[in-house]
Structure formats: structure tokens, C-alpha cells
Amino acid sequence: MAQTVPCRRDPSAGIGLRAVLSAQEKSTPPVQIPTPHTNADEVKRTCDSFLLESFTAEDAWELGHLLYARLLPFSSEKPTLISISLANSGQVLFQTVVGSGTVPDNEIWVQRKTNTVLRFGTSTWFQHCKYAGNEEIFRKKFGMSLGQAEKYAIHGGGVPIRVKGVEGIVAVVVVSGLQQHEDHGVIVDVINNNWQ
């Protein structure tokens, strides 16, 4: 049976921005972010990365705004940073903070998560689950010095985007600021609800 390759559920321009405006108008309590699997095999099978029909700058713009809208109700308690970049050049297609209170350290986490996705071709959550969050085992497995290991993060929140017919990773989506399972879970939740 052939794997389905999702495309945006609503291809019209501005759907993400409309979701942000709607979220700003409503003062509803946050909807819990689904917790992803913690078994590495299940993560790999269900939510490690996404193979999409296409992923353009417009798709990144829409995804970024859809993530923003989803995270806005959490912003007073958990400010976050959203970043979407191209894999081949590192060009940032979308980046913003949701709520006040992010710090420069969030930028460092974005870079470390991106580095992990690009080097290993998997989500950072998969790496976290595979090594049970043990950074020392992860570091030794790949023969990294302490300095080298500091460039990578095995904490949830970095997800690779692939495109049908294109070899390798096309883009990296990162969320930083929540608990790591939520950083990963919100990306999975938003893509699953807006791509079909």
C-alpha cells in the first residue's frame, strides 16, 4: 500500500494569519498539546518527520502562523520561539516569538536542535527517546568531545520536513520554550491537523 503524502488541507493564502487573528480575539484557555510517544520505534513510525507533497516559503509562512495561533493561549505562562529554516542553506523562512519572556538562550536551543536534525536526519525527540535523554551516552556513541556535543540537543522540538521526490531534508521546524515533549508535540499536532 502506497504511503499518502499530505498537502495543506486549506491551500488558500493567509489561513495561518486568520488563525492567529482568531486566536487573538478569543480568550480561550489553552488546549492541551498531545504528548508524543516515548518509545523510539513508535516515534520513528508515527511522528519523527513529515514527508509532504511540497514545502514552499508560503507553506513555511502558513505553518509558522498556525504554530503561533496554537501556542498563543500558552504565551503568558510559556513564551516560545518558532523557527523554520531551509536545510540546504540555513535560510530562515519564518521566525517569531510567542509571548514575552523568551531569552537569547532560546536561539541557541534552536540552533542546537537544527544541528541535530540535519546531522542525524531525525527529529530531536527521536534522539531523546533513543538515548533515554542521556546526553553522555549520545556524546560517546558518536565520539564527540564535550565541545562538539554542545552543538547538538537531544531534546524535543526539532522536526525534519521532507518533500516527495526530493532527496534528504528540505526544512527544519523548531519550537523552543515549552517542555520538550510539548515542543515536539505541538509541531506534530499542527501539521497533522492542517496537512492531509
CATH number at residue 176: 3.30.450.150
Q: Each residue of 23-49: pLDDT tens digit?
A: 888 877 889 999 999 999 999 999 999
- Asked if residue 113 is part of any domain, the answer here is yes
Q: Tell me, yes or no, whether 11 lies in a domain.
A: no
* DSSP states of 124-148: HHHHHHHTTT-HHHHHHHTT--HHH
Q: Which domain holds residue 151?
A: 36-194
pLDDT, tens only, 138-173? 999 999 999 999 999 999 999 999 999 999 999 999
Task: Tell me if 69 is assigned to some domain.
Answer: yes
18 lies in some domain: no
Q: Which helix (H) or strand (E) holds 41?
A: helix 40-46
Residue 63 lies in a domain: yes
Q: Is residue 55 part of a domain?
A: yes
Residue 29 maps to a domain: no
pTM assigned to the model: 0.95
**Looking at the 3D structure of the chain, how many domains does it have?**
1
Task: Look at residue 98 and tell me if it is in a domain.
Answer: yes
Amino acid at 8: R
**Three cell numbers written together for 121:** 536526519
